[in-house]
Structure 1
Amino acid sequence: MRNVDVAVVGLGLSGSATAWAAVRRGHSVAGFEAQAAGHRRGSSHGRSRIFRRAYLDPLYVELTGRAGPLWERLAAEAGQPLLDRVGGVDHGPGREPERMAALLREHGVSVELLDQAEAARRWPGIRFSGPVVHDPSGGVIDPEASMAAMVRLAATGGAEMAYETPVHGLEPADDGVRFQAGGETWHARTLVVAAGGWAGPLLDGLVPLPPLTVTQQQVFYFDRREPGPWPTIVHGASPESLEMYALPEGPLLKVGEHVNGTVTTADDRDFTVDLQARERALAYVREWLPGLDPALRSETTCLYTWAPGEDFILDRSGPIVVCSPCSGHGAKFAPLVGELVTDLVEGDAPIARFALTPPDSSQTSSSSRTW
């Protein structure tokens, strides 16, 4: 039997970050990924995710402040840039710009609250209809490069990292978890499940999870009419409307919706782009992003795993740690998630709202929207 302190199931952003953090703290680690390296079946693939401090929820503003320096540390240890701080803008009544700016300033974030004319002068490729929050610390993360860097650093620190190696036959006991992987029997004192959309089926009957909903999302890519820098964008045209986001990815701009995915499972998704979502994206670009060529350049799909209230699930049940920083906004926290999960491995209590049995909704954000 192979024995380790920590076994990590799933080597997306969160699992890779956990392996990196646990190795740095002196634990023996083995990481397992059922798919090939760089696969596109989950939630972490691609070359761009938004990093931002701009939330309407104080908890996430505080956590982004802790995540930012860890991204810089990762880039320094990896010897490559992983977070491009192009800045970020939030606008529209659904983003409550005045309240957002005040909250960010309370947390020491040096944001600007711009009027519509000044924002249009700075970013003529974007149409605005009111005040705009500009966060210069926002930017774009490269998830594929980040995962590769964290896996490499974990392996350099002594972790065994295996791809195309499904984990099955989980047997929790008082002293840890026994399981099968790669034709061998393993025993881990703590098993971390960071399996994204596969977490529910893997833990069924072992850990009482809150309701998790897996959806297939779609993103769309457009050419810029003129070269030059673009910030990341989060736009809520009204409190009731879909929230749209956009961010630069190389010479293109990536555009998507935060909601409205098709409910599916990680194994049964069809990878087919929803035609209505495509039409909404095209209409959005025509109306709000005049700096883009509205002819669609390309499109793809990915998975979200939604938890109640759009919060994360980071908690321990016996020898199993559930690591699901989900609901479509977890990528920016990846290196911090690795630290928080390793805290759980070492016996710390979870952040209350991330517990398997969280506090009631009266203790969460007054906005009712974490994103």
Structure 2
Amino acid sequence: MSIATQERAHESATYAIIGAGLSGAAAAWRLAQSGAEVIVLERDVPASHLGSSHGSARIFRYAYLDPFYVDLVVQARRGWDELEAASAQRLIIPSGSLDAGVIRDPRALAAALEAVGVEHELLSRDDAESRWSQLRFDSEVLWHPGAGVIDAESSVLAMLDLARAAGAEVRSGWEAVSVRRASSGYVVTSRSGATVHAEQIIVAAGGWLPTLLADIALPTGFAAALPEFEVRQENAFHFPYRDQGDCGPTAQGAATSWPTFIYKGEEIQMYSLPGGRDADFRGQKIAEYNGGKPIPSAADQDGRIDAGNRARVVGFVEQFAPGMSPEPYAETTCLFTNVPGDDMIIDRAEGVTILSPCSGQGAKFAPLLGELVYDLVAGSQRAGQRFQAVGQRFARAHA
């Protein structure tokens, strides 16, 4: 069969999903699992290095100040368990997680975990340093052992494999540039001029969303209500463990030897996690939260490391992580897509659903995102008002 014939044979579906990162893959899995006809349209390849779902190191954690989000993680963990069983893969490596810093407020985090029944300990600074001698703290510390490290790329591929097994089609190298109304449903057009017709569209385009929104046929009121999306090119650095016996997972693969940790003080905010295969299993990935430069969209990323950002992260390692050598052996850029309220956006108008788990927090919720999208397009209100578009705007300094 020729390529042109293939295009004609698969030119329509019930659902077209734009984007094959964690969000789009999760939606494809759950919708195809329901028996629906699904096409996934990916501008590059699934879990592309140009997007937000590549690599082997994302944090799975329960610690939120809002019990609503803590409970959401509990729900998501059930989906991860299902995905790991269905794919016969371990996708979350146990690590446990530490939270510290006066802005992070470990005591308030402990109260939120207590409200939902998530296992945790609130430790004094001295007790935490006694237990984790490779780290230093300047506040109380929250420990919760249920946290881990998500293999993002493997998770995307696992969900897409399950979606394909249920009948979905996944197209790579298919860059959607517009969504227009048709006599029934919608027509998605690619940069090459190819088209796909679908009854409903799910837009899970990550950092490309701000640009793509201008060419999506959204009702005027809904378009005006969407929050302002901010894309940042973040910087991430890998630092080697001083004790190379600390490298990566244990021999049994049961857990990492270092925890993930999040620090939010009055002057700096950092997060860190074992780097997995991204870091050759020999170091810790550390990044400054929203420390990268704003860019108009993912298309504008240049991959250049910001020297000032590197200096701040190195300074953090020198002050708070004596168990690491303060010279990064690898560095990269990645994307954050933010909204002012730091909530996820899962909202729908007519036949178009916008799926944007914003502000660097979406990975941990991936299987649940697919469930929420399925419920939304099927007519349920499970996604709730919390994730609706509410017209948020950043302060002038972020404009």
User: TM-score over 0.5 for the alignment?
Assistant: yes
2:390 counterpart residue number: 357
Alignment of 1:71-150 (within 5 A): 71-150=80-159
Which of 211, 225, 230 lines up with 2:242 in the alignment?
A: 225
Q: Which piece of structure 1 moves more, 184-193 or 79-88? A: 184-193
Aligned identity (percent) is 40
- TM (norm. structure 1) is 0.92
Please give the alpha-carbon distance, in whole angstroms, between the structure 1 residues aligned to 2:28 and 2:304.
Answer: 33
The Cα of 1:118 is off from its aligned counterpart by 2.0
The change in CA–CA distance for 1:174 and 1:106 in structure 2 (over 3 A counts) is farther
Question: Which amino acid is 2:282 matched to?
Answer: P
Please give the alpha-carbon distance, in whole angstroms, between the structure 2 residues aligned to 1:36 and 1:26.
Answer: 24
Q: CA RMSD in A?
A: 1.7
The answer as to 2:260 corresponding to 1:260 is no
Indicate the structure with greater strand content: 1
The 8 Å contact of residues 175 and 319 in structure 1, kept in 2 or not, is answered as no
Please give the alpha-carbon distance, in whole angstroms, between the structure 2 residues aligned to 1:269 and 1:61.
Answer: 32
The answer as to 2:175 corresponding to 1:170 is no
Which of 313, 316, 320 lines up with 1:284 in the alignment?
A: 316
Please give the alpha-carbon distance, in whole angstroms, between the structure 1 residues aligned to 2:178 and 2:114.
Answer: 49
The 8 Å contact of residues 6 and 30 in structure 1, kept in 2 or not, is answered as yes
Please give the alpha-carbon distance, in whole angstroms, between the structure 2 residues aligned to 1:337 and 1:242.
Answer: 30
Please give the alpha-carbon distance, in whole angstroms, between the structure 1 residues aligned to 2:47 and 2:62.
Answer: 28
Q: Which piece of structure 1 moves more, 349-358 or 190-199? A: 349-358
The Cα of 1:326 is off from its aligned counterpart by 1.2
Please give the alpha-carbon distance, in whole angstroms, between the structure 2 residues aligned to 1:185 and 1:211.
Answer: 28
Please give the alpha-carbon distance, in whole angstroms, between the structure 1 residues aligned to 2:182 and 2:342.
Answer: 31
Aligned-partner SS, 1:263: strand
Cα distance per residue 1:95-141 (max 9 Å; x no partner): 11111111111101011111222211221111012311111100100
Please give the alpha-carbon distance, in whole angstroms, between the structure 2 residues aligned to 1:69 and 1:107.
Answer: 15
1:341 counterpart residue number: 373
Please give the alpha-carbon distance, in whole angstroms, between the structure 2 residues aligned to 1:174 and 1:133.
Answer: 56
2:301 counterpart residue number: 269
The Cα of 1:357 is off from its aligned counterpart by 2.5
The change in CA–CA distance for 1:358 and 1:347 in structure 2 (over 3 A counts) is farther
Please give the alpha-carbon distance, in whole angstroms, between the structure 2 residues aligned to 1:308 and 1:355.
Answer: 13
After TM superposition, what 4+ stretches of structure 1 lie above 4 angstroms from structure 2?
181-184
The answer as to 2:343 corresponding to 1:311 is yes
Question: Which amino acid is 1:186 matched to?
Answer: V
Please give the alpha-carbon distance, in whole angstroms, between the structure 2 residues aligned to 1:294 and 1:358.
Answer: 42
The Cα of 1:37 is off from its aligned counterpart by 3.8
Please give the alpha-carbon distance, in whole angstroms, between the structure 1 residues aligned to 2:73 and 2:291.
Answer: 25
Which of 272, 283, 300 lines up with 1:246 in the alignment?
A: 272
Q: Which piece of structure 1 moves more, 7-16 or 117-126? A: 117-126
The 8 Å contact of residues 173 and 319 in structure 1, kept in 2 or not, is answered as no
2:38 counterpart residue number: 29
1:161 counterpart residue number: 170
The 8 Å contact of residues 231 and 298 in structure 2, kept in 1 or not, is answered as yes
- TM (norm. structure 2) is 0.86
Please give the alpha-carbon distance, in whole angstroms, between the structure 2 residues aligned to 1:72 and 1:308.
Answer: 31
Q: Which piece of structure 1 moves more, 205-214 or 217-226? A: 205-214
Please give the alpha-carbon distance, in whole angstroms, between the structure 2 residues aligned to 1:49 and 1:61.
Answer: 17
The 8 Å contact of residues 227 and 392 in structure 2, kept in 1 or not, is answered as no
Alignment of 1:206-217 (within 5 A): 206-207=217-218, 208=223, 209-217=226-234
The Cα of 1:4 is off from its aligned counterpart by 1.2
1:368 counterpart residue number: none
